[in-house]
Amino acid sequence: MQKSSLEIARSFQIKSSPDRALFRFFEILPGALSWSTIFLAVYLSYQAPTVVAVFIICFDLFWLTRIIYLSFHQLTSFKELQKNLQIDWSEKLQKEHPESWPKIYHLVILPTYQETIEIIESSCQALEKAPYPQKKMIVVLALEERAGQKVREKARRIKEKYEKTFFRFFISIHPQNIKGEVAGKGSNFAWAIKEVKEKLIEPFSIPKDNILVSNFDIDTRPYPQYFSCLTWHYLNSKNPLRSSYQPIPLYNNNIWQAPAFSRVIATSGTFWQMMQQERPEQLVSYSSHALPFKVLEEVGYPASVVSDDSRIFWKSYFFYNGKYRVCPLHYPVSMDAVMAKTLFRTIINQYKQQRRWAWGAENIPYVLYNFIKNKKISLSEKLRHSLIILEGFWSWAIATLLIFLLGWLPLILGGEQFNLTLLSYNLPRMTSYIMTIAMVGMVIGAGISFSLLPPRPPQYKKNKTLFMILQWLLLPLTLIIFGSFPALDAQTRLMLGKDLPFWPTEKIRK
């Protein structure tokens, strides 16, 4: 497929008026669907309360079925994760691929902005402890020029400590104000790849087919066998150079220190990724992930979007005409839950992070537009992916509101005539029963989250463990405030043609 349509970030970049109008329509679509649902729920609760009441009951039953279905996936994924944590992947590599695995290099990119030296060093320490041969690892600390001189001094100190540990420890400095770029992780990563290719890979003649790139956040700490597990999956993949590789993010770095709502949101993100690993046909690269260097060379990493981690999947998918997938690793990396110096700042930071993630809706116009332009992908494949991505972002913004808030509107707006009906009497009872049964998903989640906790730090009393379980009672509130609201915010901005600058999440550990 021609790369011109793959580089589009927003509709105004398109020269052709019909194509620009089409892309703009797709930008409006997710927000229009979400707000139309809210408007219809309010309007019909007044004009046709019986219709809305029946719809709410059916919708709750649908979500009950979905929760049960996803809970089975969650349990299966958890068991797979536990199994993979017990495997000695280094030994497995040696037994199954004694000649192939030593040829694989791991290039680890750590984009940083203004994080403390303690956070940077903790990630480097995790890399140092990995049993994979360190002389087959290239670590790149990717700095931002706009971060100032202090960050360079931190990087110099880190390099002095670790440059003899790995094959190479390289520092790249991403220039500021490059035309067409979005200042953020994606553009920093793209620059780092360009630098390391020119200054390391080509001068040392490292075979590009043998390089796996781990695109990490600066707080990412891979579990010990991550690189061996990744190498095994790469060598066993049916099409290794046409695949990304996705670990499961566990937000365990500061999970005991983070506020309860932050823990719930972080762990919910982990659960969603666990469920998606059991549905690889829907899996899209997310946050910290890995991919072949050859893909980055051929496709080019997106530097002009905020949601770069998912965009690289879609860009590769279209570049290879649908012959690209994400391979689930069922193996974890550890990251930070949102935490700031004060509770209020943590709330603001959490909302902004969720809004940035919800800005992934910018992929909807990109995907739908390129499906129309690409004639080599089957119609059934286009319809499947289109429905999945549209329904996913619509549910993100609307589902919790329909379940916990809008379902009461027929009782409030339906009038006296509706409130005298049997349906009016049974609506709150039926929805309450359905949601009570749906609590099984929350119970399963609480149990799994407890099993994934790192050891309790000595400064915390035993009753802290109880709070780690009771925190799940906050789930409905967090899903509305930090789920639906930021999703609607992001979709509305996209619908109105506004931009959302990349916002780096503040990293604080106590």
Determine the Cα–Cα distance for residues 71 and 463; give it in Å rounded to an integer: 28
Determine the Cα–Cα distance for residues 243 and 237; give it in Å rounded to an integer: 8
Q: Is 215 helix (H, G, I), strand (E, B) or coil?
A: strand
Neighbours of 410 (CB within 10 A): 29
Residue 435 lies in a domain: no
Q: What is the pLDDT of residue 27?
A: 97
CA distances from 441 to 64, 267, 274, 403 (A): 9, 13, 14, 15
Q: What is the pLDDT of residue 2?
A: 52
What's the CATH code of the domain at 323? 3.90.550.10
The predicted model scores a pTM of 0.94
Q: What is the pLDDT of residue 438?
A: 74
* Residue whose pair of structure tokens reads 């799994």 in the numeric block: 448
Q: What is the pLDDT of residue 283?
A: 95
Secondary structure percentages of the chain, helix, strand, coil, to 5: 65, 10, 25
Residue 351 lies in a domain: no
Low-confidence ranges of the chain (pLDDT < 70): 1-3
Q: At what angle do helices 463-470 and 422-452 cross, to 10 degrees?
A: 140
Determine the Cα–Cα distance for residues 116 and 470; give it in Å rounded to an integer: 32
Residue 223: φ, ψ to 5°: -65, 155
Number of domains in the chain: 1
Which residues have CB under 8 Å from 67's CB, separation 6+? 438, 440, 441
Residue 322 lies in a domain: yes
H, E, C per residue of 263-323: HHHHHHHHHHHHHHHCCCCCCCCCCCEEEEHHHHHHHCCCCCCCCHHHHHHHHHHHHCCCC
Q: Tokens representing 182?
A: 């979005």
Contact yes or no for 281/297 (Cβ under 8 A): no
- Please measure the distance between the N-terminal and C-terminal CA atoms of the chain and give it in whole angstroms: 49
Residue 418 lies in a domain: no
Domain residue limits at 327: 100-268+283-334
Parallel, antiparallel or unpaired: strands 221-222 and 325-334: antiparallel
Q: What is the pLDDT of residue 105?
A: 97
Contact yes or no for 273/357 (Cβ under 8 A): no
Q: What is the pLDDT of residue 296?
A: 97
Residue 67 lies in a domain: no
Residue 410 lies in a domain: no
For residues 385-407, b (16+ Cβ closer than 10 Å) or e, as one string? beeebbeebbbbbbbbbbbbebb
Contact yes or no for 470/382 (Cβ under 8 A): no
DSSP 341: S
Contact yes or no for 291/213 (Cβ under 8 A): yes
* Residue whose pair of structure tokens reads 């104000």 in the numeric block: 177
Residue 41 lies in a domain: no
Q: What is the pLDDT of residue 464?
A: 81
Determine the Cα–Cα distance for residues 118 and 124; give it in Å rounded to an integer: 10
Residue 430 lies in a domain: no
CA distances from 305 to 243, 308, 355 (A): 21, 6, 14
| CB half-sphere exposure, 57, CA atoms < 13 A | 15
Q: What is the pLDDT of residue 143?
A: 96
